[in-house]
Amino acid sequence: MKQSIYPLIIASLFLTGCVSGDKDYIETPTSDQIADLRDDDNDGVINARDICPGTPRGAQIDNDGCAEYVEHSDKKDLKILFANDSSEISPIFKTEIRTMAEFLEEYPETSIQLQGFASQQGNAEYNIRLSELRAAAVRVALIEYGVDPQRIETIGFGDTLLTAKGDSAVSHALNRRVVATVVGFKGDVVNEWNIFTSRKKR
């Protein structure tokens, strides 16, 4: 009966020694971590692998931590008509020019080429110069609405490219014009879907 007590006494002495500090304490080893495991932009990709820091919050990302974008385009046409032998812009076209200026502001990476034309009234050399003056007049108007002059190119075609055939007054009026077409591209971040995502009701 006495022999069965000894193991309990020895265990008790061992535990007491550990608690009292008789044994040396071994600190938890620290790892030599080279890679940056932080995620500063909170996109789920650690800094060490994130090649696109500063990802917009909530964006859908790829394995490199870059947001996915969907690209859409928008197209804007400009058409200004002129009176015979004139490069003066009628007030009725001011709104159309202002709208084009706003479009160019929305898409700052785009530029515009203003193409001037004339009817077949008068000689060809004079009409080339007249078509250039018409394009230049529209250029000035766009600049007045805040468009950078370096984004605007002008060219005069004279009466070489007619939009309306014939010798009627209507045909001549349609040919005295300045036209332009601008296509703007813009990318939007694809947002990550979650349980709080809602759809617009139709």
pLDDT tens digits for range 6-61: 555 555 555 555 545 555 677 776 666 555 667 666 666 666 666 566 666 666 66
Q: Are residues 57 and 82 in the same domain?
A: no
Q: Is a pLDDT exceeding 50 seen at residue 194? A: no
pLDDT tens digits for range 64-102: 667 665 556 677 889 999 999 899 999 999 999 999 999
Q: Are residues 110 and 144 in the same domain?
A: yes
pLDDT tens digits for range 119-172: 888 788 999 999 999 999 999 999 999 999 999 999 999 888 787 787 788 888
What are residue 153's phi and psi, to 5 degrees?
A: -115, 145
Q: Are residues 163 and 63 in the same domain?
A: no
Range of the domain at 163: 69-189
Q: Are residues 86 and 123 in the same domain?
A: yes
Q: Are residues 152 and 52 in the same domain?
A: no
Give the per-residue pLDDT at 170: 87
107 band by pLDDT with thresholds 50, 70 and 90: confident
Nearest 10 degrees: CA dihedral of 88, 93, 99, 101? 0
Give the per-residue pLDDT at 195: 43
User: Can you tell me the mean pLDDT for 103-124?
Assistant: 88
Which structure tokens are listed for 114? 């203003």
Q: Could you tell me the pTM of the whole model?
A: 0.58
The total number of structural domains in the chain stands at 2
Give the per-residue pLDDT at 47: 66
Q: Are residues 146 and 56 in the same domain?
A: no
Return the closest-CA partner of residue 138 out of 202, 93, 184, 183: 93
